[in-house]
A and B are shown apart, each in its own frame.
Chain A
Amino acid sequence: MRATLECYSTNATVAKIRAMHGRMFTADNYRELMTKKSVPECAEYLSRTERYRSAFKDTDPNTIHRGYLEELLNKANFDDYIRVCEFQGLDSIPYYRFLISRREIQCILLMINNINSELENSYLNSLPGYMIRRSKVKLLELSRAETFDELVKILKGTPYYKPLSKIKADPDGKVDYTACELALRKDDFEKLIKYAEDVFIGSEERELKEIIYYEIDSTNIINAYRMKKYFGYSAEKIKNSIINISGRPKGRIQKYYELDTPEQMLDWIENSKFGKCDRDTDVIETRIMQARYRWLSHVLAGTTSAPVALYAFVRLCYIEEKNLVHIIEAIRYGADTSVLEKDMLIF
């Protein structure tokens, strides 16, 4: 496999990703969007931009539902990812399925939530339609499951069976959602790192692992802060509730989990690479996403490796999507522009 990949130049893919990155929203675009007064105006604006023109084809801005608008943004990013993977036939390499795996995990978690909440149809209603034909998991079949055990049974033969089968359901068929999420995400990251080690070599492997670890760490930092601030978790409990990748050397970040107060955690973040941003904000998500966006843009500008560029690009798109959804929601509920600007993930 290595030999094949070595011969297989993916420079064109990197160039394509950079070109797509160039079409992403800038601060001016966000500012222009923020001047809109209603969801139809937002939809109309988005449908005129080069970035989302094709995604909004055939839609009527005047009648579009806000939820559908958000799903279209999500789908546009997913379609971009698929387009990049298919460009040089990279979709045949398991590593490149990483976004599909992530979306599949989201769908499974939706179903677990559906079982726990006993809300009929909530899974089907929220299931992103575009995933149905892309996924190897029978996503529609999952809706037939009434208990967690039934769900696991349907998932047999998929990569998600193993991590979920270790979790025991309650007698009433419900299950610990957080444990499931942790198990699925941990398994997903571990597989991704294994692919990075097995398939790629040298600086490519190093860069790839660095970007994946960065994502794990920044996600853990946000979760640990929330656990401390809102639930008062102890250091031990936090360590057991975050994504711990086996075999990874323990770094400076371990000290963060042991801090006593949320304020100390905020101080730590502000002085670390995970919280380095231009804006002075106490909202931890905004700070970390800002820093992540900057770091990922930097990685994308410098790398010559297709898997690294794709990973960075996908994560940048995710942040952009979050930002757009944030603006659209704020416009929908008539929030003040200054408040909106303050909470923007990137600006």
Chain B
Amino acid sequence: MAIEKMSLVSITGDMEELDDALQKCCDSGFFHIEPAFSGGEGRGHLLNEKNEYEAILKRLSQFVTYVGLTPVETDHSSLSAKSPDELSAMCDELENELAALKDKKQEDDQRISELSAAQIQIEHLKGMNSDFQQLFSCKYVSVRIGRLPIDNYSKLEYYNENFFFVPFETSENFCWEMYFCPESEKELIDDLFRSMYFERIMLPRYVSGNADEALARINDELKELKASSAETDKKISDFRNSREKELQVLFSKVRFLSDSFELRRNVGAINGRIGNRAFMIKGFIPKKREDKFSELFKQLETTTVTYMPADADASCTPPTMLKNNFLTRPFTMMVEMYGLPEYDGINPTAFVALTYTLLFGIMFGDLGQGLVLFLGSILLNKKLGAKAAGMVRRVGLSSMVFGTLYGSFFGYEELLDPVFENLGIDFLPLKVFRQTNFILITAVGIGIALIVISMLLNIYAGFKKKDYEKAIFGCNGICGLIFYSSVIVGVVGSIMFDMKIMSTPFVICLIVIPLICIFCRVPFAAAVKYKKLQLSEDGEKMTIGNFIVENFFEMFEFVLSYVSNTMSFLRVGGFVLSHAGMMLVVMTLMDGASAVAQPIVLVIGNLFVMAMEGMIVAIQIIRLEFYEMFSRFYDGGGKPFEPISLKFSAQVEQ
């Protein structure tokens, strides 16, 4: 239950060694970088250089995409070129080689696009049998072809102008038509049609003959062009195959150089001791890796590494790296889901691991189903991911243990009875439906224990941070713990064991006084911390009336939360019953089925219960963890420890 101790590292050296230093940081695999300077510091400034590799990378990415190559990470140590100019020249060379083919392809595609557009337009004029060339060459008559919004079509007959129109085809929104007008009046008529949003279709000059003939001609030409385009594609593909290795090496190199350059954004530029330009890199590493880290930089002449305590620089917060053992590690995903603890906080992973495993086993206890979960997680380790599979493995084992205690094996509740009889254990297996009260009371008991542990953790965390309100006077502090435990002891003792505990001194000392302390937690905490009484946390003015009203409602909420959180654990018992109930339904269905169908019903029933109830139980426990437990002691405002690395990616933002 610990958080890895960090060291603040400051790396300085001559600017010439910056790339090598960054490379070493990446190679270490455990360097978390921070901006070397935050705003307002006068010692230096962050490097803000233009990444010249970025443009080359974009060009190269477009090029490889054009030739149909998917970049994959390739060893680029054989390529000596490093400067942007050299790499840019290599790109030029490649582009020049392909330029002729690219132009040819572009030309063909453009022509195909033009012809396809003309083809669509002429399709709408299919009813027209006159020769286009003849129509357009009329001396005294102007002809226009195009489409008119259908809504305006009915207007045409109301115009007293000198034109006539021939519709060819109508769609939902447009009418394709042709209109004729005297050459001398064409400007007026064109204006008129334009005002009705007539969209004129400019047919290419090569379109001749009637619509059918023109279409046939266009189709022939399109066919030829497509064949030519396919041939160009093949040549491009041959180019790609012959130069694939060269392209992959070049892309990997440029990607690497560009990404390395991006890391410079957090690097600071300072003046060296002899007036030279120097760099400064700031970050965190785990304290135990200091020696190993220093070892990496030994080869660099001017670069020095300095270690400081993690909290030495107020401008950067140390990141949190959870330290967990083999058993608890998979449960870090639960903690990360809620939010990592602060660097000086507590690591709740072990607590989560223990409680999650325990509660899952109780709520989903079945030896057979637990075994399926266990084996399934081993088989699907890769698909689920190591953490999720690890969690399933552990909860599967827990389910098997509690399944054995319940004597349940794939819904057969009597199968294990002879085993316990032979062993001479008469109180096992637990018969769920015969011991309902015991199960429910135990569930609440577990809840009380977990809430008390959560409060103890909160007290520990509060003292660790010197937050006395949280540790002593808060509803989850010492006062809250005394109040909660006393009420539980009082109620349980009086009702279940008929003990007369609730005496006046007991009530006053263990219930009323803690309640008063919780009510006045802010002024009491201020008195301890600042040696003065103040009603509000931040020292703002607050009237006594406001203080009483505000705290009354907060107290009401605290007390209510004690009750509701405790009762919330009844669901643990509830799921024990519901699991047994669902399996009873499966068994009843199986009994009613034919001999052939019985195994099928058993398998499907078990799978259904495992999928549905397994999912619900998993979610319900997360709820219990986060609401009933985490909310009492855990804040989760930490920053994740993210070591820098150069990961290859084929994607390039254009």
Contact B192–A125 (Cβ < 8 Å):
yes
B195 touching A58 by the CB < 8 A rule?
no
Give residues of chain B (140-154) contacting chain A, Cβ–Cβ below 8 Å: 149-154
Q: Specify which of B155, B172, B174 is in contact with A127 (CB 8 Å cutoff).
A: B155
Complex Cα distance A58/B170, Å? 12
Give A102 Cβ to nearest chain B Cβ, in Å: 18
A173 contact set on B, CB distance < 8 A: none
Contacts of A140 in B (CB 8 A): 154-155, 158
Proximity bits, A126-166, B CB within 8 Å = 1, else 0? 11111011000000100110000000000000000000000
Flag if B173 contacts A71 (CB, 8 Å).
no
Instruction: Report the bound CA distance from A214 to B192 in whole Å.
Output: 40
Answer whether residue A63 sits at the interface, using C-beta atoms and an 8 A cutoff: yes
In the assembled complex, how far is the CB of residue A283 from the closest CB belonging to chain B, in whole angstroms? 30
Instruction: Indicate whether A65 reaches chain B with its CB closer than 8 angstroms.
Output: yes
Q: Are B174 and A124 in contact (CB under 8 A)?
A: no
Are A68 and B151 in contact, CB atoms less than 8 angstroms apart?
no
Contact of A125 with B196 in the complex, beta carbons under 8 Å:
yes
Instruction: For the complex, give the distance between the alpha carbons of A125 and B192 in Å.
Output: 7
A67 within 8 A of B: yes
CB within 8 Å of B: which A48-104 residues? 57-60, 63-65, 67-68, 71, 75
Whether B199 contacts A57 by the Cβ 8 Å rule is no
Please determine whether B151 and A132 come into contact, CB atoms closer than 8 angstroms. Answer: yes
Q: Does B171 contact A (CB under 8 A)?
A: yes
**Are B151 and A129 in contact, CB atoms less than 8 angstroms apart?**
yes
Asked whether A129 lies within 8 Å of B152 as measured between CB atoms, the reply is yes
Chain A interface, number of residues (Cβ within 8 angstroms): 24
Please determine whether B159 and A60 come into contact, CB atoms closer than 8 angstroms.
no
Given A58-B173, A132-B151, A68 contacting B158 (CB threshold 8 A): no
B627 adjacent to chain A (CB < 8 Å): no
Q: Quick check: is A121 within 8 A (CB to CB) of the other chain? A: yes
- A124–B154 alpha-carbon span in the complex (Å): 10
- Chain B nearest CB: distance from A294 CB in Å? 34
Which chain A residues border B171 with CB–CB below 8 Å?
A: 58
* B66 lies within 8 A of chain A by Cβ: no
Q: Mark each residue of chain A from 189 to 215: 1 if its CB lies under 8 Å from any CB of chain B, else 0.
A: 000000000000000000000000000
Contacts of B172 in A (CB 8 A): 57-58
- CB-based contact A121/B192 at 8 Å: yes
Neighbouring B residues of A57 by C-beta, 8 Å: 172-173
Question: Across the interface, which residues of A come within 8 angstroms of B173, CB to CB?
Answer: 57-59
Which chain B residue shows the least CB distance to A143?
B158
Q: Say yes or no: is B194 at the interface (Cβ < 8 Å to chain A).
A: yes
The distance from the CB of B175 to the nearest CB of chain A, in whole angstroms, is 11
Given contacts A58-B173, A130-B151, A132-B154, contact A71 B197 (CB under 8 A): yes
B161 to A, closest residue via Cβ: A121
Distance A127 CA – B158 CA, assembled complex (angstroms): 12
A121 touches which one: B152, B153, B154, B159 (CB < 8 A)? Answer: B159
User: Cβ of B194: which chain A residues have Cβ within 8 Å of it?
Assistant: 65
Contact between A68 and B197 (Cβ–Cβ < 8 Å)?
A: yes
Interface pair B199/A63, CB less than 8 Å apart: yes
Contacts of A129 in B (CB 8 A): 149-155, 196
Task: Evaluate contact between B155 and A58: CB separation under 8 angstroms.
Answer: no
Q: Which residues of B contact A64 (CB under 8 A)?
A: 199
Query: Taking each of A67, A124, A127, which has the highest tally of chain B beta carbons within 10 Å of its own beta carbon?
Result: A124
Give the residue of B149, B153, B155, B197 whose beta carbon is less than 8 angstroms from that of A124. Answer: B155
Distance in Å from the Cβ of A104 to the closest Cβ of chain B? 16
Closest B residue to A55 by CB, please name it.
B173
Most B CB contacts (10 A, CB to CB) among A65, A67, A144 go to A65
Q: Which residues in window 193-228 of B have CB below 8 A to A? A: 194-197, 199
Contacts of B195 in A (CB 8 A): 67, 121, 125-126
B495 → chain A closest CB, angstroms: 51
Within 8 A of A (CB), among B151-181: 151-155, 158-159, 161, 171-174
CB distance from B124 to the nearest CB of A (A): 12
For the complex, give the distance between the alpha carbons of A68 and B151 in Å. Answer: 12
| Chain B residues in 8 Å Cβ range of A59 | 173
Known: A58-B171, A125-B192, A129-B149. A67 touches B197 (CB 8 A): yes
Cβ contact within 8 Å between B159 and A124 = yes
Which of chain A's residues have a CB closer than 8 A to the CB of B151? 75, 128-130, 132-133
CA distance A337 to B199 in the complex (A): 30
- Roughly how many angstroms separate A12 CA and B173 CA in the complex, as a whole number? 30
Most central of A59, A68, A128 by chain B CB within 10 Å = A68
Contact of A58 among B154, B159, B174, B197 (CB under 8 A): B174
In the bound complex, what is the Cα–Cα distance between A129 and B192 (angstroms)? 14
Among residues of B, the one whose C-beta sits closest to the C-beta of A56 is B173
What are the residues of chain B within 8 A of A125 when measuring CB–CB? 192, 195-196
Distance from A255 Cβ to chain B, minimum over Cβ atoms (Å): 44
Across the interface, B199 reaches (CB within 8 A) one of A60, A121, A144, namely A60
Question: B529 → chain A, closest Cβ, in Å?
Answer: 44
Interface centre among A75, A125, A128 (most CB of B within 10 A): A125
- For the complex, give the distance between the alpha carbons of A140 and B195 in Å: 16
For A130, give the chain B residue with the smallest CB separation.
B151
Residue of B nearest to A75 (CB): B151
Question: Chain A 99-131 against B: per-residue CB contact (8 Å), 1 yes, 0 no?
Answer: 000000000000000000000010011111110
Bound-complex Cα distance A8 to B172 (A): 34
From 214 to 251 in chain A, residues with beta carbon under 8 angstroms from any chain B beta carbon are none
Name the residue on A nearest B148 (C-beta): A129
Distance between Cα atoms of A13 and B269 in the complex (Å): 65
In whole angstroms, what is the CA distance A65 to B193 when docked? 12
What are the residues of chain A within 8 A of B159 when measuring CB–CB? 121, 124
Contact string against B for A residues 325-341, beta-carbon threshold 8 Å, 1 for contact and 0 otherwise: 00000000000000000
Cβ contacts under 8 Å, A132 to chain B: 151, 154-155
Q: Which of the listed residues B149, B173, B199 has the most CB atoms from chain A within 10 Å of its own CB?
A: B149
Q: Report the nearest B residue to A67, measured CB to CB.
A: B197
A-B contact pairs, 23 of them (CB 8 A): A57-B173, A58-B173, A58-B174, A60-B199, A63-B199, A67-B195, A67-B197, A68-B197, A75-B151, A121-B192, A124-B158, A125-B195, A126-B195, A129-B151, A129-B152, A129-B153, A129-B155, A130-B151, A132-B154, A133-B151, A133-B154, A140-B155, A143-B158
Could you tell me which B residues sit within 8 Å of A by CB distance? 149-155, 158-159, 161, 171-174, 192, 194-197, 199
Interface on A for B, CB 8 Å cutoff?
Answer: 57-60, 63-65, 67-68, 71, 75, 121, 124-130, 132-133, 140, 143-144
Contacts A75-B151, A128-B151 aside, 15 further interface pairs with beta carbons under 8 A come to A57-B173, A58-B173, A65-B194, A121-B161, A121-B195, A125-B192, A125-B196, A126-B195, A129-B149, A129-B155, A132-B151, A132-B154, A132-B155, A133-B151, A133-B154
6 closest A-B pairs (Cβ-Cβ)?
Answer: A129-B151, A68-B197, A125-B195, A129-B152, A130-B151, A58-B173
